[in-house]
Amino acid sequence: MSFGQGPSLDRNLDFEVDSTGDIRSTNGENELIKDLSVQLIFTLQKFLGETPSRNTQTRALSDAITVVEADSRVDTVLRETSSVSLQEGRSATGRTIDVNLNIITIDETTVNLRTEVTEQ
């Protein structure tokens, strides 16, 4: 199954350029991971202003699962092996949210989505 194709983005969500100077594209599983990572970064930003606690992590994980499972290419998120952690002082700008979600796609492929949300 094809998960689509689109422009490739780096960790700062800037376009990547290929060796010819064109915007690099990504497809398949990498496209799914990119799309979901961008959605998670925007969704989870609100938790960066909160004090890291078990309750905050639980709410962030719940929001992350809701966002990912809303994607038509995703069947389910394996909750028991997925996690979100909030950390202080890991980035130059302050707090960081580490997201690690194990996803089953609609074609029954297991995908590990790891992304990091940092204060800008």
Q: Is 40 exposed, middle or buried (0-12, 13-18, 19+ CB in 10 A)?
A: buried
Q: Give the model's pLDDT for residue 35.
A: 86
Q: What is the mean pLDDT of each run of 10 residues along the chain (120 residues)?
A: 55 62 67 88 90 91 97 95 86 80 94 88
Per DSSP, 24 falls in state P
Can you tell me whether residue 108 is helix, strand or coil? coil
Q: Give the model's pLDDT for residue 31.
A: 80
Q: Give the model's pLDDT for residue 113.
A: 95
CA 6/CA 79 separation, integer angstroms: 28
Look at domain 5-118 and name its CATH class. Answer: alpha beta
Q: Which residue has the tokens 């064109």?
A: 22
Q: Give the model's pLDDT for residue 72.
A: 92
Q: Give the model's pLDDT for residue 105.
A: 93
Q: Give the model's pLDDT for residue 24.
A: 62
Per DSSP, 16 falls in state P
Q: Within a 10 A sphere around the Cβ of 87, how many other Cβ atoms?
A: 14
Domain boundaries, the chain: 5-118
Q: Give the model's pLDDT for residue 30.
A: 79
Tell me if 26 sits within 8 A of 7, measured CB to CB: yes
Tell me if 113 sits within 8 A of 33, measured CB to CB: yes
